[in-house]
Structure 1
């Protein structure tokens, strides 16, 4: 019936715009599961595109008006293999937002083959591997370590006049009134498969992503606040006044650079196994320094430079949602390569990854929830023509 089709087209459009309610999303998924003709909508979304170079800028998404119109109008394409079953509801939701592209211009993958099942019965333990969660290790000034997770609550220790309190995945430093000249440093380190949130003594909030660490003083009593980051962290820096007047600067030291702020929100991604270091500004202003280069960012801009190399700083306007997607609970991809996707999964699920076959040139857009099991995440990639198998604690990507 035309009215019914119009209704579900509108639901799909709202889903692509990320404006539908959970109830509307459930209604859409239920409709898609009713019969094969409805499930063809999923194939339309899973079909792969790449935009012409002159039609996409660095921050644009693949769902252009032209693509969306094609998706919404084509309700009866040729018969294809259904892309999900009812036992994969969260996978189906993610597939709605995941698109795969191959170099070579706009095109559909018109011949869709059923992906081989990558999981044998003996491999269920790895397939059922849960996602990462709130876990980290706190190293105190005397070298003692404390395991942090989501279950521990209450006071952990004192460092000078500062009390350390843990509650539900949050570590809070409550500064006292002491102004001792002795500076004590603590380090919070997340393993692969871990994340943690910290409130520093000045009220600055830091979210640490997996395989990251933050070293910081337990009290900020000098002329500036300085911390050291390895990996990835999102910062909401609190304003603080100097005793003689003026704002106390806040610096994030990196392996080969630094970011200086007065009070702002920004994300730094500085993993040694990534090709670039990226600083993304959401609010306020920051000065970014690398080698002999320094630049100032405005909100919505991103500064990048080559990891462990002497290179200039490149500044672009960017999709800030992509930069902080991990903090919001999902992976967000914008023209990401297969290796880029797998590195994020590797850090979050604490797995090893090996590649077989020729290097793939495919690129990905979309997002995957971070709260699903590894098998579900791999199933999403399989539906997008990335085929994986498992060997022990290693995922083998067949390119």
Structure 2
């Protein structure tokens, strides 16, 4: 296409989104995207309607895989000019767009740049059938007598009884059913690295545990309040009972007073803060020195160092709840934050050598992806890394 017009570019953009471009058209599109006029047009067109959401059914898996191969081949293609697969210059808020293919699913990945431009770097390529994956629906239940029960999809039916409380495990969900007097014996469910599990407490409250998390609770609730303790990340849908308030103790430093509501608590210590996001209802966040009430759509962040509570309005709930829906999700996240998620899921060690990359990323990756597949995001952002057994070594980036 010797002289591209705006109409020509928009036609290529449409083909790019539908994954119908030929190899030549794909190269024309990527080249044109680096021209200032089309770069701005691309940013304006994609900024509002893509926002890095997974597009289910965007194309058949074989079509998506074909385009992935085109992108991969283009990035390795020897040429006197830089590879076409690298972050573009500066858009208003977005610096590049790639089609990201994992597990036969297509997604748009927006890579947000700082004020620098990366040079080309040597990146690693792995077989997508690699076995480094999360373990899925797994947990360990510790009951009152100290007995530990392994939970997974194979453990079905009644697995224990504690007084009048019967514990069932069905379809990878633990269910407590109380048939009489209260039972205050304490139980604990823990998910390992790479595992997730859900539980229905005796009052009907539902909780979903992300990887490396725990929930401590009584076999059934008695007294004036319903109190549980948690670490890691847990999403709650609390059963209403105004006469018996529900309270969540987080890392033994923060507690949440709850009315009938749904909310997510991310309290991984390596993240540096406790984040509580309210989806419905109302909660009251408390530390020893501060207290704040949340309304739906707000997030409370409590810094681990000073315990101050900061309220954030209108957070991206899709991003917060991505893990429950089967995705890694990140929004303007540094490499370190992404690698924290990978550590909790793949049971890996992450080592940083030299200066940590400062670029920010927004995107989604299926939890079903292998580690090498997930690391593709770093390849196309030109972040250098080495994968050695269960270690990911992040190297200083070339500039």
Normalising by structure 2, what TM-score? 0.78
Q: Is the 8 A contact 1:8 1:28 kept in 2?
A: no
1:306: how far off?
1.0
Structure 1 residue corresponding to 2:110, chosen from 95, 99, 108: 99
In the alignment, is residue 200 of structure 1 matched against residue 207 of structure 2? no
Cα drift, residue 8 of structure 1: 2.5
Aligned-pair CA distance for 1:239: 1.1
Alpha-carbon distance, 1:6 to partner:
6.8
Q: What number of residue pairs does the alignment pair up?
A: 352
Which among 150, 165, 168 is matched to residue 165 of structure 1? Answer: 168
Alignment partner of 2:271: what SS?
Answer: coil
Q: Which of 242, 249, 254 is residue 253 of structure 1 equivalent to?
A: 249
Per-residue CA distance 1:293-316 (angstroms, 9 max, x = gap): 000000010000112x33321001
Q: 2:322 is matched with which residue: 320, 325, 343?
A: 325
The answer on whether the counterparts of 1:98 and 1:368 sit within 8 Å (CA) in structure 2 is no
Q: CA deviation at 1:219?
A: 0.6
**1:248–1:262 contact (8 Å) kept in structure 2:** no
SS at 1:327's partner residue?
Answer: coil
Cross-structure match for 2:343? 346
Tell me: CA distance 1:202–1:35, structure 2 relative to 1, closer, same or farther (3 Å). closer
- SS of alignment partner, residue 102 of structure 2: helix
1:155 and 2:158 aligned: yes
Q: CA deviation at 1:7?
A: 4.6
3-state DSSP of counterpart to 2:198:
strand
TM-align CA RMSD: 3.4
1:115 CA drift (Å): 3.6
Aligned to 1:59: none
Query: 4+ runs of 1 displaced by more than 2 Å?
Result: 1-21, 23-36, 42-51, 91-94, 96-104, 111-119, 124-128, 390-393
Gaps of 5+ in 1: 52-61, 72-82, 241-245
Equivalent residue, structure 1, for 2:131: 128
Residue 147 to residue 34, structure 1, CA distance change in 2 (3 Å):
closer
Q: Is the 8 A contact 1:239 1:247 kept in 2?
A: no
Equivalence for 1:312: 308
**In 2, are the aligned partners of 1:118 and 1:387 still within 8 Å (CA)?**
no
Provide the residue aligned with 2:221 in structure 1.
Answer: 220
SS of structure 2 residue aligned to 1:207 = strand
Q: Which residue of 2 aligns with 1:16?
A: 50
For structure 2, list consecutive stretches of 5 or more residues without a partner in the other structure: 1-6, 20-45, 76-82
Three-state SS of the structure 1 residue aligned to 2:15 is helix
Contact kept? 1:126, 1:374, Cα under 8 Å? no
Conserved? CA contact 2:86–2:380, under 8 Å? no
User: Which residue matches 2:390?
Assistant: 393
- 1:29 maps to which of 64, 73, 97: 64
Asked if 1 retains the 8 angstrom alpha-carbon contact of 2:123 and 2:382, the reply is no
Distance 1:31 1:135 in 2: 34
- Alpha-carbon distance in structure 1 between the residues aligned to 2:135 and 2:355: 30
Q: Deviation per CA, 1:320-374: give whole Å up to 9, x if none.
A: 1111111111111111111111010000111111111112222111111111111
